[in-house]
Structure 1
Amino acid sequence: MSQLVSIDTSEGVRTIRWNRPEKKNALLREMYTAAAEAIETGETDREVRVFVLGGTPGLFTAGNDLIDFMEAPPHIGGSGDMPPVERFMRALMTAKKPIIAEVDGLAIGIGTTLLMHCDLAYASDNAAFKTPFVDLALAPEFASSLYFPARLGRSAASDLLMLGSTWDAARAKEAGLIADVFPSAEISSEVRKRALILATKSPGALRTAKALMQAPEEPAEDRMAREGGLFAEMLSSPEFAEAAAAFMERRAPDFSKFG
């Protein structure tokens, strides 16, 4: 495991942190590999309920270390071994458990685009978001040209992806890129608080809600039918039985025995 990525698992939360502050947490292949492994193993670990992805105090990530990145660039659909950055992004994109991003300070390039593949993203009041792909004569990456216009609207997406503007936390929240903003000194504790809340919820219900929100767009009637079928199916699940019993007994439900 790379020393440039710190991984801690406690109380159902696996926290993955970039740990290369002397280089503004610029990402190396070994860092992507370590983070990918942490997500992949966490997906099959019953003790892990939620992932948090963050950096060091005041620094999320300055994006890819360009020298290291050019030695193994992404090759979607190509042959050969999957580059570490692609392995990490695929782990992030396909994770069934909730993922929270904790952005404190710089979020450059992939530091911003990966937020589209997290379920929740929070930022500190000193966060800065920038996607300089066009400035580097490159194309947008990892479906950002799909997710940014859908989430932010065409004009705001162009402001990031084409103009290369730098957004502060207030602008990012206004646009819907992040859920909320906290003082830098408080963001870790605020994110941890929310991760612990998620960790106590029904894992089956969380997976279902996430899968529904990630599903391709479809007519409202079709989505209602899909939701209704799942709703009816889950009424007979052990997790619902526990939730119902807890409600009747006026206690908090205990989903710890469910994976």
Structure 2
Amino acid sequence: MKNEPMAASAWSDWVPVEGDGLDDFAEILYEKKFHRDHGGGVARISLNKPEKMNTLTLATVDEMFRAFYDANHDPAIGVIVVAGKGKHFGAGGDVEWERWGLREAFYNRYPHNRLMRLSRKPIIAQVQGYCIAGHNHMAYCCDFTIAADNAIFGQAGPRVSSPADGFFVPYLTKVVGAKKAREMWMLCRKYKAPEALQMGLVNTVVPLAELEAEVDRWCEELLAVSPGCLEVLKAAFDQEMDGYKESCVTSAAMYPDWFDMPEGKEGGAAFLAKRKSQFWSIRRRDAEARRELLAEYEAQQPAVPD
């Protein structure tokens, strides 16, 4: 049986964090609150672009880094909660930004999942509404995922020409099994909260109105045990990811010019134009161009003497 929640008065109010580099955020809201009985605190990092379904850019990740850094270096904090303001946890990367920004993300920066992987404090993903693409793999890389009954999970990369590789892709096989992991990533299917629970993608599902209270319950349990032991356990669990390659290494090796190729551009362009993607038309034209180039090359070669 679950532990019963303590009285609401057991918690202090959420207070925005102040300090150099921590109080000028435009894309996230960073807050902390403390448990009066246990003494420890919770840091909450909320994606704060509800009008854009909390879509991610590198600016978002930069702000998240500062908040994660502060929470991990604050000895009074025992748990980090990642949430999304508005109706949805998030719908992945900002497609308009990705048309150029993914080049920087792939070849020069770190992905947001690395913040979860390197965090010393346990992390709870608090999910409502859509949890798609980058938000989905961010959530399943967290230690725990608490979902509202209206949550919908899924990946979208192949649908919008956004390749993905690195530790967070194969890690999903540890969460839901190899077959379901490939199904989710390759077919871009969507999964409602009850199915996500059955798959093992989330820890529990509660009515939307009870989501924050349920997260508080889990935070209370985590704050009731040794924070140092939790840090060691989290690091021990997370070390299985260390055997996987870092993000973007495989994509860059297989398709070094992906974002300048027609297929690499087509998914995002089709999404923005609200039309069907033409991936196989591009492939056929590419194959024909290769045949023509090969025929031209062979015609230019001198005849081999008998």
Say if 2:32 is the partner of 1:9: yes
1:164 aligns with 2:193: no
* Structure 2 CA distance for partners of 1:102 and 1:29, relative to 1, 3 Å: same
Q: Structure 1 pair 117/91, CA: closer, same or farther in 2 (3 Å)? A: same
Q: TM-score of the superposition, structure 2-length normalised?
A: 0.65
Closer, same or farther: CA 74–50 of 1 in aligned 2, 3 Å: farther
C-alpha change, 1:10 and 1:142, in structure 2 (3 Å) is farther
Q: 1:95 to 1:26 in 2, by over 3 A?
A: same
The one of 70, 94, 100 aligned to 1:71: 100
Counterpart residue number, 2:57? 28
Q: Are positions 1:148 and 2:177 aligned together? A: no
Distance 1:68 1:113, change over 3 A: same
Residue 218 of structure 2 corresponds to residue 189 of structure 1: no
Structure 2 residue runs without a partner (length 5+): 1-23, 35-40, 242-306
1:205 aligns with 2:229: yes
Q: Distance in 2 between matches of 1:90 and 1:156?
A: 23
Bigger mean CA offset, 172-181 vs 115-124 = 115-124
Partner of 2:29, secondary structure, is: strand
Structure 1 residue 178: deviation in Å? Answer: 0.4
Instruction: Label 1:142 to 1:67 Cα distance change in 2 as closer, same or farther (>3 A).
Output: farther
- Is 1:94 the counterpart of 2:118 in the alignment? yes
Shift of 1:89: 2.6
Q: Which moved more, 1:45-54 or 1:205-214?
A: 205-214
Supply the distance in 2 between the matched residues of 1:207 and 1:62 (Cα, whole angstroms). Answer: 30
Q: In structure 2, how many angstroms separate the alpha carbons of the residues matched to 1:68 and 1:42?
A: 28
Identity %: 26
Contact preservation (8 Å) 2:128, 2:208: yes
TM-superposition CA deviations, 1:206-235 (whole Å, max 9, x none): 011112222339xxxxxxxxxxxxxxxxxx
Number of matched residues? 212
Please report the TM-score for the alignment, with normalisation by the length of structure 1: 0.76
Q: Is the 8 A contact 1:2 1:30 kept in 2?
A: no
CA RMSD after TM alignment: 2.0
Q: Which amino acid aligns with 2:69?
A: E
* DSSP-derived class of the 1:162 partner: helix
Equivalences for residues 225-244 of structure 1 within 5 A: none
Q: 2: distance between equivalents of 1:175 and 1:184?
A: 20
- State the 1:100 CA deviation: 0.3
2:85 match: 56
Structure 1, unmatched stretches of 5+, are 218-259
Larger Rg computed on CA atoms: 2
Alignment match, 1:130: 154
Find the aligned partners of 2:85 and 2:105 in 1 and give their Cα distance.
30
